[in-house]
Amino acid sequence: MSFLKLFKSENVANNSESIWYENWQLLKKNKSAMFGLYIIIFFVLIAIFAPVVAPFDPYAQNIDIRKLPFFSWPYILGTDDFGRDILSRIIYGARISLVIGFISVSISLIFGSFIGLISGFYGGWIDKISMRIIDIMLAFPYILLTIVIVALLGPTLLNAMIAIGIARLPQYARIMRASVLAEKAAEYVEAEKSLGVGNVELMFRSILPNCLAPIIVQATLGVGSAIIESAALSFLGLGAQPPTPEWGLMIASAREFVSSAWWIVTFPGIAILFVVLGFNLLGDGIRDVLDPRLKD
């Protein structure tokens, strides 16, 4: 077994540190990816230190200061129709959006990759059945699938996360399966097999690490789209419920004031735009590094 490791898995294990380091060095050179990363770090920090950073209690209502316009000191971004500070609500909203983004992506990532790995590795009827189901799921536009799942489960934030995770799962399964099929044909797999390395070990210790690149790209971009989708669900009343300071919900509750209080609608949207932009920039950058073929 040990000499076999020379073929690839050992290489991967030994060089993995240097490979990741090398990739990180390449990524560091990519200015827009780094810009994206800084945006993400900024929002993550804001989310973690929300109680410290936010000037006001995001839930505190005050009828005297309803709909204060943009830049009414000390309410920098103004207040909403309940007199709540918009900036503070946006800061707390970062917690919700990032958590939804990461959890829903983790759901699709873990289950999708697992399905893809199993079906690519074993092939045969397992593959046929799971790919058939994946095809059927892909026959729904995923926005619709998300909405339907959450509508059936009931409109809560947790269900929104689950729905987004499930609806995006087929993409991960497909990508994983394709990489596994390519990897399975590699020589080291044949060699390890002939030496009687167990399937599970082969699958998780040798093949999986080599299939991660495209999945990482998909997941990074996926966090961004999950944040948009969860905001959309909340906007439709199918996600977070009032008075949660969720960005989509903030936009929804301000819809009736578009003519009188534009700032209530505008700023939460800008927050969404920037977080998602951050993930998209980073995701594009990672893809350029991990898959030079796609680089132009």
Partner 1 sequence: MYKFILKRVGMLLPTLFGVITLVFFMLALSPGEPARVILGERANKEAVEKLNAELGLDKPMHVQYVIYLKKVVQLDFGRSIKTGQRVIDEIKSRFPATIELAIFSMILASVAGIFIGVISATKRYSLLDYVSMFGALFGVSMPVFWLGLVLIIIFSVNLNLLPTGGRMDIRYYFVPITNFYILDGLIHFFKSGDLGVFLSAVTHMILPAVTLGTIPLAIIARITRSSMLEVLKQDYIKTARAIGTPEHKVIFKYALRNALLPVITVIGLQFGMLLAGAILTETIFAWPGIGKWLYHAIESRDFPAIQGGIIVISTCFVLINLFVDLLYSVINPKIRTE
Dist CA 255 CA 274 (whole Å): 21
Q: Which is nearer to partner 1, 202 or 261 (CB)?
A: 261
Q: Which is nearer to partner 1, 189 or 272 (CB)?
A: 272
What's the min distance (Å) between Cβ of 277 and partner 1?
Answer: 4
Q: Which is nearer to partner 1, 209 or 214 (CB)?
A: 214
**Cis-peptide, bond into residue 74, ω within 30° of zero:** yes
CB 69 within 8 A of CB 261: yes
Taking CB under 8 A as the binding criterion, the range among 66-74, 103-111, 191-199, 276-284 that sits at the site for partner 1 is 276-284
DSSP tag of 173: H
Q: Which is nearer to partner 1, 202 or 231 (CB)?
A: 231
Taking CB under 8 A as the binding criterion, the range among 17-25, 120-128, 181-189, 275-283 that sits at the site for partner 1 is 275-283
State which of residues 253, 280, 286, 290 lies at the interface with partner 1 (CB under 8 A). Answer: 280
Q: Which is nearer to partner 1, 202 or 221 (CB)?
A: 221
Taking CB under 8 A as the binding criterion, the range among 74-82, 102-110, 170-178, 248-256 that sits at the site for partner 1 is 248-256
What's the min distance (Å) between Cβ of 142 and partner 1?
Answer: 8
State which of residues 112, 245, 268, 285 lies at the interface with partner 1 (CB under 8 A). Answer: 268
Q: Which is nearer to partner 1, 180 or 276 (CB)?
A: 276
Dist CA 259 CA 166 (whole Å): 37
CB 159 within 8 A of CB 101: no
Which amino acid, one-letter code, is at 160?
Answer: A
Q: Which among 179, 153, 170 is positioned nearest to 291, based on CA atoms?
A: 179
**Cis-peptide, bond into residue 268, ω within 30° of zero:** no
What's the min distance (Å) between Cβ of 238 and partner 1?
Answer: 7
Footprint of partner 1 on residues 107-166 (CB under 8 A)? 132-133, 135-137, 139-144, 147-149, 151-154
Show the site string, 218-237: x = touches partner 1 by CB under 8 A, - = not.
Answer: ------x---x--xx--xxx
What's the min distance (Å) between Cβ of 243 and partner 1?
Answer: 20
- Alpha carbon separation from 159 to 156, 238, 241, 260 (Å, rounded): 5, 9, 12, 33
In sequence order, which ranges of the chain are alpha helices (DSSP H)?
A: 9-29, 31-48, 50-53, 86-107, 113-122, 124-138, 142-153, 157-184, 187-194, 199-201, 208-210, 212-235, 247-253, 262-290
What's the min distance (Å) between Cβ of 286 and partner 1?
Answer: 15
Burial degree of 31 (CB within 10 A; 0-12, 13-18, 19+): exposed
Q: What residues make contact with partner 1 under the rule CB under 8 A?
A: 132-133, 135-137, 139-144, 147-149, 151-154, 224, 228, 231-232, 235-238, 248, 251-252, 255, 258-259, 262, 265-266, 268-269, 272-274, 276-277, 280-281, 284, 294, 296
